[in-house]
Amino acid sequence: SVNIVAFGNERDGFSEDNQQPSLIWSYLGRSALISQIDSSLSASHVGNPVFTEYQACVFGNVRLVVHDCPVWDIFDSDWYTSCRLIGGADIIVIKYSVNDKTSFQELKDSYVPMVKKALNHCSVPVIISAIGARKNGVPCTCPLCTSDRRSCVTTSEGVQLAKELGATYLELHTLNDFYIQKYFGGVLEYFMIQSLNQKSSEKMKKRKKTQKCHRVQPPQLEQPEKMPILKSEASHYNADLHNLLCCCQCADVAFYSEDLSTAVEAHKVILCSVSHLFMLLFGVKSPSDAHDASVMQLAQSLFAVDPFPLSPRGVPPCVPPVRVVVKDSVFCSCLPDILHFIYSGAFQWEPLEEDIKKKLKDPEKTEHVLEKVKCILKTPGKLNTVKDCRSHQIKRLYNTSLRLFFNTPVLADVIFKIQGATVPAHRAVLVARCEVMAAMFNGNYLEANSVLVPVYGVSKDTFLSFLEYLYTDSCCPASILQAMSLLICAEMYQVMRLQHICELYIITQLQSMPSRELASTSLSIVSLLKKAKFHNSDCLSTWLLHFIATNYLIFSQKPEFQELSVEERNFVEMHRWPSNLYLKQLADYRNYIHSQKCHCTVM
């Protein structure tokens, strides 16, 4: 169907010929395309019709509905009805008489803005029809003519109004067959055809959309289950070294006051890892290696090493502690606080400063001791320009790592024998960082009384990586298999943080492995799972089970899949991705597509 709404009166307001047929009725009565015309009136009150409704057939079987509103008062009296009419219109026709300037001006000023508002940017075609012959002589169509502007509506005014509405402008000098059928009828029927084509296109789109909704859709593949997240454990490297000072295990140096009344025990390897001064003091470096005479001078003025060591504690191979006399009594009184500062990482400067201030209660003495500490921590050959030390500055300037003494015989007091090779180490570091070795070297075990300690069950490279972690608090496995070997070694010596680091490394490497590489790799994930379970790595074993289930289509084709236990196989089948239900739905959908003999755009 096509809905047309016509507004305005084509009759002259001063004309006495009220029987003159309207534009719409004239078109309906004369057009060869129109048949079966019916009409009815709708009035707001008796004697004042609001609009006339015409129903007819056009183009044979297309229903045509026309609402002809001769008065504009409908916008004032019934805004809802006027908006409803415009909203349902396919074509809008606006009529006016060229000899009624007053009505045209009212239309332009009052009702055109209302029509714009009701259209609300809708793309409905609008036809403006200027009807009648101007009574000021010969009708003039020249836009420049001003002879009839006072009483008649000029062509230029009508064209301007059409521009405001984006409408098509027509001038109908008389309602005869030529103007009605050829001129007005031709334009109106063009817009009718456009409207029918648009409705047909929208109908086809809606039908296709409906057919698409009723068509069997492919099954939706859900995302795999989220794998358990493994969180890393915080480092306790500095806390381990600080606890070593508190328990005084494996101490090999003792600091005494000049009257030998007080003593503070410590460990050479820890002190030498912090200060070049202690390296000179304990013979790790010779004076010729110092490159800074001030460091040697401070060592000689502050400390004196007793050539006669103290008697050893315990049975051999215990090394007798070296006795060091502190010549500066003020410095000696603050030595416990200074050692706590060094063993805590040598970067918590503010707490050290506060402790010394409380102990000495003398600004000059406090400054004196703090300057000595700065000199002890100073790197040889570099000026110590730090006036107001802060923790972040100290941490940047001084390296407290024990890496310098890793796998070196300097100050070593234990040697591990592994795979025919020897690896030197320091009992103090091992005891501080590993509880199993602390019990081994301090208990009633054979290793406590031996310099040479054999190691079984791990390779040399794995054990070196383990010791490197104890000394430096870091490790960098070269492969997943090496990380698993290191995990086994960490579990054997109960170093839980290293075990977590290896677990994270294995998980990260497997997650980053593409499916194609995962399918072709010779690495046995099931073997990793068995080892993780055997060595109590619960987090890794749980993650590996989820990993196998998530990549079910890859692992189910490998021979190692048969090595899973019944319990493990049940878990994998329960959490597999894609699920059995999805695969069944997919098979049914493929069969449906094949039966319909149409190409599946999804698969």
Q: Residue 275 domain-assigned?
A: yes
Tell me: do 294 and 359 sit in the same domain.
yes
Residue 135 has a CB neighbour count (10 Å cut-off) of 13
Last residue of a domain, one of 344, 359, 377: 377
Long-range contacts of 416-425 (CB under 8 A, 24+ apart): 416/453, 416/454, 416/455, 416/463, 417/452, 417/453, 417/454, 417/455, 418/454, 418/455, 418/458, 418/459, 418/460, 418/463, 419/459, 419/460, 421/460, 422/452, 423/460, 423/463, 423/464, 423/467, 425/467
Tell me which residues of the chain have a pLDDT lower than 50. 16, 42-48, 138, 144, 146-149, 314-316, 383-388, 392-400, 600, 602-603
Cβ atoms 248, 265 nearer than 8 A: yes
Q: CA 96 to CA 98: how far, in whole Å?
A: 6
Percent of the chain with pLDDT over 70: 83
Kindly report the three-state secondary structure assignment for every residue of 191-202.
HHHHHHHHHHHH
Q: CA 583 to CA 553: how far, in whole Å?
A: 11
Q: Which residues 6+ apart lie within 8 Å of 138 measured at CB?
A: none
- In the numeric block, which tokens belong to residue 211? 């057919």
**Order of strands, sheet of 414-418, starting from the edge strand that comes earlier in the sequence:** 421-425, 414-418, 452-454
Tell me: do 167 and 267 sit in the same domain.
no
Tell me: do 177 and 296 sit in the same domain.
no
Query: Could you list the residue range(s) of the whole structural domain that residue 338 is in?
Result: 248-309+319-377
Q: What is the pLDDT of residue 412?
A: 94
Tell me: do 21 and 129 sit in the same domain.
yes
Element spanning 55, H or E: strand 48-58
Q: What is the pLDDT of residue 338?
A: 94
Cβ atoms 108, 161 nearer than 8 A: yes
Q: Residue 273 domain-assigned?
A: yes
> How is residue 230 annotated by DSSP?
P
Nearest-Å Rg of the Cα atoms of the chain is: 50
Name residue 203's amino acid.
K
Length, in residues, of the chain: 603
Tell me: do 280 and 369 sit in the same domain.
yes
477: region left, alpha or beta (phi > 0 left; psi from -120 to 50 alpha): beta
3-state SS assignment for residue 420: coil
Tell me: do 288 and 184 sit in the same domain.
no
The number of helices, as runs of H, and strands, as runs of E, in the chain is 28, 14
Tell me: do 181 and 285 sit in the same domain.
no
Tell me: do 72 and 190 sit in the same domain.
yes
Element spanning 452, H or E: strand 452-454
Is the whole-model pTM more than 0.75?
no
Q: Which residues 6+ apart lie within 8 Å of 422 measured at CB?
A: 415, 416, 452
Tell me: do 89 and 177 sit in the same domain.
yes
Cβ atoms 183, 172 nearer than 8 A: yes
Q: Residue 520 domain-assigned?
A: no
Q: Residue 334 domain-assigned?
A: yes
Q: What is the pLDDT of residue 59?
A: 78
For CA atoms 118, 121, 126, 132, the dihedral sign is positive
CATH number of residue 342's parent domain: 3.30.710
CATH number of residue 59's parent domain: 3.40.50.300
Q: What is the pLDDT of residue 261?
A: 81
Q: What is the pLDDT of residue 40?
A: 59
Tell me: do 189 and 269 sit in the same domain.
no
Provide the number of structural domains found in the chain.
Answer: 2
Tell me: do 276 and 162 sit in the same domain.
no
**Within 88-136, where are the H helices?**
101-106, 112-119
| Cα–Cα distance list, 577 to 48, 85, 204 (Å) | 75, 58, 40
Average pLDDT score over the chain: 82
- In degrees, rounded to 5, the angle at the alpha carbon of residue 386 between the alpha carbons of residues 385 and 387 is 105
Tell me: do 268 and 353 sit in the same domain.
yes
Element spanning 427, H or E: helix 427-433
For tokens 């086809």, the residue is 204
Q: What is the pLDDT of residue 141?
A: 56
Q: What is the pLDDT of residue 45?
A: 38
Q: How many CA atoms lie within 13 A of 55 on its CB side?
A: 5
Q: Residue 585 domain-assigned?
A: no
User: What DSSP letter does each residue of 307-351 carry, written as one string?
Assistant: SSPPPPSSSTTPPPPEEEEE--HHHHHTHHHHHHHHHTTS--HHH
Q: Residue 112 domain-assigned?
A: yes
Last residue of a domain, one of 377, 411, 426: 377
| Cα–Cα distance list, 475 to 298, 467, 490, 542 (Å) | 37, 10, 12, 24
Q: What is the pLDDT of residue 43?
A: 40
What is the separation, in whole angstroms, between the first and last Cα of the chain? Answer: 42
Q: CA 415 to CA 283: how far, in whole Å?
A: 20
Q: What is the pLDDT of residue 385?
A: 42
Q: CA 214 to CA 212: how far, in whole Å?
A: 5
Q: Residue 96 domain-assigned?
A: yes
Q: What is the pLDDT of residue 269?
A: 94
